[in-house]
Chains A and B, each alone.
Chain A
Amino acid sequence: MTSLTTRAPAGTRGRAHTKPHTTPPRLFLVHLGLIAVGVVMFYPLAWMFGASFRDDSQINDPGLWPGDAFTLSGYQTGLDGLSGVPFWRFIANSLLVSALCVGANLIACTLTAYAFARIDFRFKKVCFAVMLGTLMLPHHVLLIPQYILFRQVGWLDTYLPFVVPKLLATDAFFIFLLVQFFRAIPRELDEAAQVDGCSHFRIFTRIILPLSKPALATTAIFTFIYSWNDFFTPLLYLADTELYTVPLALRAFIDTTSGSAFGALFAMSVLSLLPVLGVFIAFQKLLVEGIATTGLKG
């Protein structure tokens, strides 16, 4: 066997590993299989989309097209929202919280990551190990004291319990991602700036950040998606219907759904998924690269 080297010749890396020529029937089967898997996976989603336009009486129809039972009443009812709070309000709330979380994460995680990647300070190794440890810490062990703390400072029924932890760099996943990214930026740039008398902060803002756009974008996008889908934090901390975010509103909607207003339920579910899908489609490439790098460097 040949020795296993780590660096492959330039030409063969990067491109997908191509097999010797697959016979057409085989290729066809492969595609068929892939398509079948895709269809099975996607069908429920497509169905829910169709069902949101379907009259409630026909809601059990497993087909995709509403056909005769087409109606917009699901959306109309759904948008009426809960207890007088229209659904748009919930979407706005979710947008607000997600935006704040994105901002908070970007600020806090980049600062922390810069310190780990570029500054040599006492106890750095310890802090880094601890930070990695928090990656695997089940957050449920923190739940109750955090709840008591937030209650004590009067932050219940506000968005502060969502944003402040992010502002205090508790999202270790992104810190880690950014550290890896920062480390890849050549130190020479830093050193050149230091020669010019730049403080760490200026190096951070003038050099590192501008060069980190892909990682920043990945952080922003994932934080947005996670925050948008977050159900547990609002469940714990939000009591006032007017402050509800979309996941909580959806759950309340199932609770209070009278009769079988599934059309409205599906309509709101579809609406709640759209922003995530939109963000994905817009930033697909970044997202995929982002995930890929986390897996590899880990």
Chain B
Amino acid sequence: MATDTIQRPRARRTTPSPRARRRAGSRNNLAGLMFMTPWLLGFVFIVGGPVLASLYLSFTDYSLLGSPEWIGWDNYVLMFTTDDRFFASLKVTVTYLLVSVPLVQVFALALATILNRGVRGLPIYRTVYYIPSLIGGSVAIAILWRFVFAGDGLLNGILGVVGVDTSTSWIGEPDSALYTLVILNVWQFGAAMIIYLAGLRQVPNELYEAATIDGAGTMRRFWSITLPMLSPVILFNVLMNMVGAFQAFNSAYIISNGTGGPADSTLFYTLYLYQRGFVDFDMGYASALGWFLLVVVGLAALALFRLSRRFVFYAEES
């Protein structure tokens, strides 16, 4: 329409006629629909639908050979009353989380802080620390880890060289097996470190300068300036790390050979879910486990956000 010719971009901001607005609105809806088609299909069939189907299945007994049989709350009752492995897997997963997430953040933040002082060769250090994050979730590394911590493995070999003679199988003893997985997770602190590095760069220098003038020492500056300014980044990292820890699978599977052993000490929740669903083919029960995981992760995330309101400081607020 000739009258709609726009002279300056800003001119558009005057209220368009209702008819034009409706037409623009409906045109946008159509365009929106078309662009969103993949996502919508994906959501229905690959995400949303399955979430609901999973809920339905959790109330059934289904083993692939046959059809789902409605059994009401039985699966959940079983889960919470007689299933020892369920509680064992929760314990293992939560322990893993509570130990490795803070460790990862501490390492990442510590090293980011040190590197941020303008250390020479920063790119090299950054690369070296980051590469483990890239490959840490792979089967190859899990295999390597199995070998490093075996009774006749690399760690014991190195200890032997420095005079400590031991043939403890770190992955074979229930008391230590989980911690080899924790170490594997901490080994991958590089990604978090890079995020912290970027975050540190965003902290305005003048804050530090002002604080130094006021007489604040290094630690004081760290606690009162760096941490608060970094808190959104910390929140993000902790959240992502936590969600990742709940879903960890590869390392436990490879190192324990799919068993979650020894004595269920590496039975991550996801590994237990996999066993029930794809080894025992108890798909109703596995769906119940999946839904419970959903609830737990949701609650954990919620708790994290609640906590964040107290501790996270966004620079936009004064």
Contact = CB atoms under 8 A, between A and B. Distances in A.
B247 A139 contact: yes
B9 interface: yes
B9 to A, nearest CB: 5
A30 B114 contact: yes
Contact of B201 (A14, A33, A192, A250): A14
A48 interface: yes
Interface residues of B, number: 114
Contacts of B153: 60
A17 to B, nearest CB: 6
Closest 9 CB pairs of A and B: A121-B32, A168-B42, A295-B195, A62-B157, A8-B204, A292-B198, A12-B205, A269-B140, A141-B290
Interface stretch (A81-89, A122-130, A209-217): A122-130
A145 B57 contact: yes
A68 B202 CA distance: 52
Interface string A107-126: 11001101100011110100
Residue among A140, A191, A254, A270 with the highest chain B CB neighbour number at 10 A: A140
A18 to B, nearest CB: 5
Contacts of B161: 62
Contact of A16 (B31, B35, B201): B201
A142 B51 contact: yes
A144 B198 contact: no
B114 A168 contact: no
A296 to B, nearest CB: 6
B243 interface: yes
A144 B57 contact: yes
A14 B201 CA distance: 6
A291 B195 contact: yes
A122 B27 CA distance: 11
Interface string B289-318: 111011001100100000000000001101
B24 to A, nearest CB: 9
Interface in B252-297: 253-254, 257, 270, 273, 277-278, 283, 286-287, 289-291, 293-294, 297
A121 B36 contact: yes
12 contacts: A12-B204, A15-B201, A60-B153, A131-B39, A134-B43, A140-B290, A141-B50, A141-B290, A191-B12, A200-B31, A250-B139, A295-B194
Contacts of A13: 201-202, 204-205
A184 interface: no
B257 to A, nearest CB: 8
A19 B206 contact: no
A167 B6 contact: no
A142 B47 contact: yes
Given A149-B45, A273-B138, 20 more contacts: A3-B318, A12-B205, A12-B206, A18-B117, A30-B119, A34-B114, A37-B129, A115-B31, A140-B273, A141-B293, A142-B54, A143-B286, A195-B5, A195-B6, A232-B249, A269-B140, A269-B143, A269-B144, A292-B195, A295-B198
Interface stretch (B79-87, B98-106, B207-215): B207-215
Interface string A231-269: 110001000000000111011001000000010011011
A41 B130 CA distance: 10
A296 B42 contact: no
Interface in B150-184: 152-154, 157-158, 160-161
A4 B207 contact: yes
A96 B146 CA distance: 29
B32 A120 contact: yes
A61 interface: yes
B30 to A, nearest CB: 8
A185 to B, nearest CB: 14
B53 interface: yes
Nearest to A281: B127
B157 A225 contact: no
Interface in A1-24: 1-9, 12-20, 22
Contact of B39 (A168, A200, A251): A168
B12 A145 contact: no
A268 to B, nearest CB: 8
A60 B216 CA distance: 52
Given A41-B187, A276-B138, A254 B293 contact: no
A137 interface: yes
Nearest to B144: A48
A229 interface: yes
B10 to A, nearest CB: 9
Contacts of A20: 212
B131 interface: yes
Interface in A154-210: 164-165, 167-170, 175, 188, 191-192, 195, 199-201, 204
B39 A169 contact: yes
A236 B278 contact: yes
Contacts of B200: 16-17
B201 A138 contact: no
Contacts of B109: none
Contacts of B239: 136
Nearest to A38: B128
